[in-house]
Structure 1
Amino acid sequence: MDFNPHFIEFCEKNVEPKDKEKAKFFVGDACELTALLDDSCGDWVKDSTKIVMCVGNTIGIMPDEIKSRIYQQMANVAGVDGVAVMVYWNGNSFGEALQHFYHKNPQLCGPFTGECIDLDTCTLSTPSGYKTHWTTPEEAAEVLKVEGMEIVQLIEKGRGVLAAYRRKV
């Protein structure tokens, strides 16, 4: 599920033929994930253990006011036997990313200067309106705690932080 129809089209074209029966792609709003899956997938999604994943630091570019809803929706869909996985860009690599990625690729988020960077929160907010937040492992653990989640596993691996979680029972 993604809000971008072009991304959904890309996924549909690139899923392995052997996996077409096991994968569904559709446009939607992650704030309404539970209802969207009920409407779009019916029993298909109810009859299996689920891994619900938010990839590539998508959470880092979402508006702050909807992030809690996303965590909750993912945990709802995963259920008690499944797991939700949030993938973050690692805040411990934020400085390197600013220098070697964002600054060198202004076509992605617009040019920026030092006042656009908040090193304390690992946040970049450019004049073009682009905003990204990178998350340290410690911050990820705290966010999940505040959201009332059980951390199944939290791994810092290079430029990424992967947090597997579910709702506490």
Structure 2
Amino acid sequence: MFATILTTINLNPLLALIILVALIFLAWNLTLHWQVYQTGKKIKLMFKGTKVADLEGVIFEQIKRLRQTEKNLAELTKFSRQVEKMAQSSIQKVGVIRFNPFSDTGGDQSFSIACLDAQDNGFTLTSLFTREGTRIYTKPIINNESKYPLTEEEKRAIGEAIGTKNKSKVKNQKSK
């Protein structure tokens, strides 16, 4: 049978050309069908979970979602700036020093605490324990300085809060 087809093709070159063109078109048709199938899979994936049945509707839906996302991002940026501003004025640095100010009392029951924000503003809180009772003192700290004389323990607490053990960086405003 195959031999008869070959002899027919040899006798009629026009028939051979028609068969060749038909095979080329068949291959082209199969390629196009494969591409349409792949595109259909991608479209189904894109439309999955949407109520819209056309491409234009999907695009408009995506634009609407993008605008909402941009709006949400702007609100989050604004909120983030507010939180950052609030955090700058919140207590961020704390130093605690325990000590015994008097030889007639036992243990380190007295303490000084320094609470500072990012700009080294805040306060010191000192508690002195004596046999008669406990006294508590507080002093404001502005830019790492106080307008009241600071004790050595308060200076050490401030130094610990700002991360330095060198108390020479801690100043009394009156000593200037």
TM-score, normalised relative to structure 1? 0.22
* Larger helix percent: 2
Which of 1 and 2 has higher RCO (CA within 8 Å, sep 6+)?
Answer: 1
TM-score, normalised relative to structure 2? 0.22
